Chains A and B, each alone.
Chain A
Amino acid sequence: MLLDIQNVEAGYGSAPPVLRGLSLQVEDNRSYCVIGPNGAGKSTLLKTIVGILRPRRGTIRFQGESIEGLRPDEILQKGICFVPQDRSLFPEMTVQENLRMGGFLIRDRRLLRERLDRVYELFPILRDRTNQVAGTLSGGQQQMLALARTLMIEPKLLCVDEPSLGLAPGIVDQVFETLTEFRKQGMTVLLVEQNAVRGLSWADWGFVLDLGALRFEGPADGILENPQIRELYLGRLAARGEE
């Protein structure tokens, strides 16, 4: 098992917890999609896994090792990478500097150089814009850069929060193709997606979150076809996804 979350309670400041005793397991080399209504705790779940939020209770184990309470940089070192909703780019830095930030943990210069070359090979558009300031890229290019950046450290688990947010449908296709490419490279992807139909039809396995706890899990296509889930959680979302 890659990631084992048990009874985690987490939230912001002194506010009531958003995650209320959430437990879920992530297996190696699979793709997951987390769905659920607004406020279900999807983003909070990812932030807790990667150490931006410290769980108030419960355990998080990554490859058998307890990681709850570690700093984000320590968790990244263990092999969990996070692409947040706002894409985590440094808008005032160039494309290349952003990629170097992605590989910040790499001490070996030659390895850094190799990874940079590989990223540029996979994303030629980024090579063309290597000295362009990231904030001036288009939304799609920025999302590509944010995803490409994670390749710099070759994480075992990639947590992506709503990569399709604010992107044109054609660009969304590109984003999902990129995620498929990452899966082929052996990365496990944990995806949070508002566009439930889109996310579930891409992923192997689905998690349904509501009110800070796991309500349902199963093969992604099964969730899409489960009438109860559809009615409870996919209603409006599914309709939107099928437009």
Chain B
Amino acid sequence: MTAPTDTTGVPARPRRRSSRGVVLGVVLLVAIALPFFRGLPAYNYVLQLGIVLFMWIAMTSSWNIVGGFAGYISLGHNVFYGIGGYLSGLLLVYAGWSPFATAVLAGLFCLALGVGFGLVTFRAHGPAFIISTIALLLMVTIFFDNWEFVGGSNGISMPLPPFPVEWIKVPFYYAMLVSAVGSVYLAYRIAHSKFGLGLRALAQDETKAEVAGIDTRRFKIAAFALSAFFVGVVGAVWAYSLSYLRPTIFFIIGVAANMVLMAIIGGRGTVAGPVVGAIVLIAVNELSVVLFGASELNIVVTGVILLGVLLFFPLGIVGTLREHGKLPAILDWD
């Protein structure tokens, strides 16, 4: 990552930036190298875990742009996930284009949709905004449930990926890794930009932000649209990895709730928070499945973890550690 730049050209507070860069670089290299070790025990499981983890990092990090930086909680963000998935999936089914190529297109389409939805939903503030995003989700769900061309509520099958079966997870792994890195980098750049400063300002007080000269509506819509991009991209990749499109995979509110949970656990409005939150929640989930089996006890465990975090880390893990000056430099990306 590049050194933090400040719009005023004022040097950022001195930090142990070089060692942080080295550690993060090593982590990234390990993630890149992982698929080459076919001899790993549970190779496919590890890769699948990577796919899921990177996907949630990308989604939560994207959600955080509008839900964290701008302070507008969206509970309908998975509409972009589903629409990205459907767009790429349908292009594969009807035109034969690979979702790996059209995922970016799906992202751009979601970006444009984000502008459109933002124009409507940002007429509301606070709780009314949250409800308007739920309404958006419900409307999109009804639309896809009844659109027979895409199979309605039964869904539609996609052709399987044309890769040898022993390598089948590798392209998905890298696609999700690129999305995760891209979305975190996007969040990082926003956090260090004037745009990010403006979002933080309007999250604190919209009237004050307006008086300071921010066209808050435009900022919010831009944040919403940018936060839709990578959600659309990973939706396309995820749909292809399942080879199946069905509304209940994408358009259930639990998907959006998961983004919110991960962001809150990690630290809403911080750059590293969504990454930490995604790792914690997925680790807890996997662990409880391993320990208790697929007994849905994992949901209980998740609830307990969330309670614990809210009790002891009211600003999320990263946010609270930073508040107390105990955030390790390695996680200080703001």
Contact = CB atoms under 8 A, between A and B. Distances in A.
Interface centre among A88, A93, A97, A104, by most B CB within 10 Å? A104
A116 B8 contact: yes
Interface residues of B, number: 21
A112 B205 CA distance: 23
B197 A73 contact: no
B200 A52 contact: no
B191 to A, nearest CB: 12
Interface residues of A, number: 29
Interface string B36-62: 000000000000000000000000000
B208 interface: yes
A104 B213 contact: yes
B286 interface: no
Interface in B168-215: 194, 197-198, 200-201, 204-205, 207-215
Contacts of A82: 211
Nearest to A76: B213
B212 A102 contact: yes
Contacts of A230: none
B204 A92 contact: yes
B8 A113 contact: yes
A153 B214 CA distance: 14
Contact of A52 (B211, B214, B215): B211
A55 B93 CA distance: 56
Contact of B9 (A89, A93, A109): A109
A90 B208 contact: yes
B70 to A, nearest CB: 14
Contacts of B33: none
Interface of A: 50, 52, 71-73, 76-77, 82, 84, 88-93, 96-97, 100-102, 104-105, 109-110, 112-113, 116, 131, 153
Given A93-B200, A100-B8, 11 more contacts: A52-B207, A52-B210, A72-B213, A84-B211, A88-B212, A90-B201, A92-B204, A96-B10, A104-B194, A104-B213, A131-B13
Interface of B: 7-10, 13, 194, 197-198, 200-201, 204-205, 207-215
